[in-house]
Amino acid sequence: MTEYFTITRDLKAPRQLVFDALTTPEHFAVWFGTSAVEVPLDSLTMEVRPGGAFRAVMLLPEGDRIDWAGEYVEVDPPSHLAMTLTDRPDEYAGLPVLFDLEEVDGGTRLTISQDRAGFSDEQVAATIAGYNAFLDDIEDELERMQEA
């Protein structure tokens, strides 16, 4: 049986705009690295369609590099996105991470669900903290997008 952990945040933006922030390279590059990590725009491959490739590079402040890879499994704009995601591109990426977007009063509820297979409780907690940092930066990016 698959056991997922979830992170939910209500965002003050229309659902289509949130979906765009998740799937458009110039916005994705801003939040995926958080404010502490650079994700060069030219490192991104985002073929947002079922079977499409995902690639990104994170350049960490101490000089390390993380190569990310995945595949878009389900794309149902603007309500759902499922993609595999791994920092070990040569290995099996596992079950897809699910992004569900629901219209709520004042904006959009974004729920991110990930299979916890093979994760210790400490790894789940660290991953949730990472997603919350992503969500903080998504909120900032959505504000900039709405001001434009």
Beta bridge partners, 109, equal: 10, 102
Yes or no: say if 24 and 45 are a contact pair by the CB < 8 Å rule. no
What percent of the chain is predicted at pLDDT more than 70? 99
Residue 1 has pLDDT above 80, yes or no: no
Residue type, 100: D
> 38-48 as b/e, with b when 16 or more CB fall inside 10 Å?
ebeeebbebeb
Residue 25 has pLDDT above 90, yes or no: yes
Q: Is 141 exposed, middle or buried (0-12, 13-18, 19+ CB in 10 A)?
A: buried
Domain 4-147: homologous superfamily in CATH: START domain (3.30.530.20)
The mean-pLDDT minimum among 4-13, 15-24, 28-37, 74-83 falls in 28-37
Which string of b and e fits 96-113 if b means at least 16 CB within 10 Å? bbbbbbeeeeebbbbebb
What's the Cα-to-Cα distance from 101 to each of 82, 92, 110, rounded to whole Å?
Answer: 12, 27, 5
